[in-house]
Copies of this chain bind each other. A is one copy, B any other.
Amino acid sequence: MIKFVTTNDGKFKEVSEMFAAKGIELERLNQPYPEIQADSIGDVVEYGLKTIPAGEGDLLIDDSGLFIEKLGGFPGVYSSFVYKTLGCQGILKLMMGWTAREARFETCFGLRIGGETHIFHGKCEGVISTEMRGKGGFGYDPVFIPKGQRRTFAQMTVKEKNEFSHRGKAARSAIKSLLKESGDE
Contacts and interface: CB of A to CB of B under 8 A. Distances in A.
Contact of A36 (B34, B77, B90, B93): B34
A71 interface: yes
Which of the four size classes fits the interface of chain A?
Answer: 20 to 34
A78 to B, nearest CB: 5
Contacts of A14: none
- Among A36, A37, A74, the most chain B Cβ lie within 10 Å of the Cβ of A37
A81 B75 CA distance: 9
Nearest to A73: B85
A1 interface: no
A154 B81 CA distance: 28
Contacts of A47: 34
28 contacts: A34-B36, A34-B37, A34-B47, A35-B36, A35-B37, A36-B36, A36-B37, A37-B37, A37-B44, A37-B78, A71-B86, A72-B84, A72-B85, A72-B86, A74-B81, A74-B82, A74-B86, A74-B90, A76-B81, A76-B85, A78-B81, A78-B82, A86-B94, A90-B94, A93-B93, A93-B94, A93-B96, A94-B94
Interface of A: 34-37, 44, 47, 71-74, 76-78, 81-82, 84-86, 90, 93-94, 96
